[in-house]
Amino acid sequence: MMDSSPSNINSADTSLSSAQLAIGRGAPGMRREKIFKKGQMMVKLNEENKVSIGMKRRTNEEEFETEVGNALKLFLERVTTEGYAFNIALIGASGCGKSSFCNSVMTAFSVGRWRERAMTGHYGGHGRQVTQHLLSFPKTKYLDSEDLMEYNYPTLVDMNGFNDSSDNLVEELLRIVFFGRLPREEKLVDAANIYRTSGLKRLKEHYSKNYEDLKIDRIIFIASATSPPPKCLMDAVTQIARGENRVIPIFGVLTHKDKIDPDGDEYQTLEKDFKEGLGLQDNRFLLCTSYCDDYDKLHGKSRLDQRHPELDIPILRFMEQVCDPAYEIIRDSLPYGQDEHSPAPEITTTVTSTDPPPSAGCEKSKRWTLTEYKMWGIGILVVVIAILVVWYS
């Protein structure tokens, strides 16, 4: 489990150069540089036993700031500027904290304060969910520093919660999402309605016609540490992500850390069940608190006014694992409907799709790296110059 307590800061953190700190946050890195120098000065005073209680608190904050810089630096080393940005699906039951976690990740990645990019909350047991559509958050929607844009920050995919079941419909909906066949901003419930009115075969036909977009590279399964893990849904996700030909790495997050006793027997049993259900090792698991109303109340200050490095650090470290290209997707180029357990349906009907026409950039197997884009740009420029030279000579 990842611990973010200040006592865990190792001496290497404090030897981090100010230039390294600046890498992470562009202009605000300058602020961090100043803080870091001030922090060193305070350590000196501490040695001389001249630190007041208030100053001690401040030193902790500064150590946290340093650790955020370090976690961010390690994250950037992992995502690099080569390759492509991963699409990460946040899957879980309704109300477990998917959207709150999504916002917390985007806050940890950005320079500014928390913003409600993914809508959170509930309607108090009326069965209606706040998130109804498949929403995607590419880096352009959450990064607020131009310096970071060239890095392959992931696209986070938030959607409404699934029921804790593992029937044909849930499995097919997961397949549709994982294979990138549910168009952005479309409702999962629309797919469920096709199933209800016309059956599984028609559902497969419909989504086989859609163009491949947002094909999922990583799954983060989210559950709350305050309620029993949704075992049927966990089974369905592991079955679709691991049991078929295209194998996607799964990670697990338990939210609501602030509401439980992490050392208590009850929680320990829940964590064990969760990890075993998803086949997780510690490096693919995180217990965390997200930015939320309860945490604001605990601190007596709104997340609109302050950041919480103690929340950001474990999330950054976890995301460093999630975005590690070392986890390979087996048979990545396999399209929807071509896996063993769900053979390609014969398309007999015409289904009107609202999707944009296919483009080279949509197909994941054809996703271009930055270098490839640059090479194409140079190539086109050379051709244009050649035409102009021939024209004027």
Ligand X SMILES: Nc1nc2c(ncn2[C@@H]2O[C@H](COP(=O)(O)OP(=O)(O)O)[C@@H](O)[C@H]2O)c(=O)[nH]1
Contact positions toward ligand X, by CB under 6 A? Answer: 92, 94-100, 120-122, 130-131, 161, 255-256, 258-259, 289-290, 292-294
**Segments in the chain forming alpha helices (H):** 11-14, 18-25, 27-47, 53-79, 98-109, 139-142, 168-178, 188-198, 200-208, 231-242, 265-278, 293-299, 309-322, 370-392
CA distances to 107, 216, 242 from 234, in Å: 27, 17, 12
Buried b (16+ CB within 10 A) or exposed e, 84-105: ebbbbbbbbbbbbbbbbbbbbb
Q: How far is the CB of 266 from ligand X (least distance, A)?
A: 17
From ligand X, Mg ion, none, interface partner of 95 (C-beta below 5 to 8 A by class): ligand X
Q: Considering all CA atoms of the chain, what is the largest pairwise distance in Å, rounded to the nearest integer?
A: 84
**Is 99 near Mg ion (CB under 5 A)?**
yes
Q: Among ligand X, Mg ion, none, what binds residue 212 when CB lies within 5 to 8 Å by partner kind?
A: none
Q: If binding is defined by CB under 5 A, does position 255 make contact with Mg ion? A: no
Q: Reduce the DSSP state of residue 373 to 3 states and report it.
A: helix
Q: What is the distance, to the nearest Å, from the Cα of residue 88 to the centroid of all Cα atoms in its chain?
A: 5
Closest CB to ligand X among 1 and 375? 1
Give the nearest distance from C-beta 127 to ligand X in angstroms. 12
Alpha helices in 110-164 (DSSP H): 139-142
Question: Between 174 and 313, whose beta carbon lies closer to Mg ion?
Answer: 174
Q: How far is the CB of 116 from ligand X (least distance, A)?
A: 10
Q: What is the token pair recorded at 135?
A: 């929403």
Residues 124-183 that bind Mg ion (CB under 5 A): 131
Select the binding partner of residue 100 from ligand X, Mg ion, none (C-beta < 5 to 8 A, by kind). Answer: ligand X
From residue 108, alpha-carbon distances to 25, 93, 284, 289 in Å are: 11, 23, 18, 13
Q: Shortest gap between Cβ of 157 and ligand X (angstroms)?
A: 12
Q: In the complex, what is the shortest distance from the CB of residue 232 to ligand X, in angstroms, rounded to a whole number?
A: 17
Query: Does 224 help bind Mg ion (rule: CB under 5 A)?
Result: no
Query: Is the Cβ of residue 98 or residue 303 nearer to Mg ion in the bound state?
Result: 98
Q: Does 100 bind Mg ion (CB under 5 A)?
A: no
With CB under 5 to 8 Å by kind, the binding choice for 191 among ligand X, Mg ion, none is none
Query: Contact 336/179 with Cβ under 8 angstroms?
Result: yes
Name the minimum Å distance from CB 106 to ligand X: 13
Residues that bind Mg ion (CB under 5 A): 98-99, 131
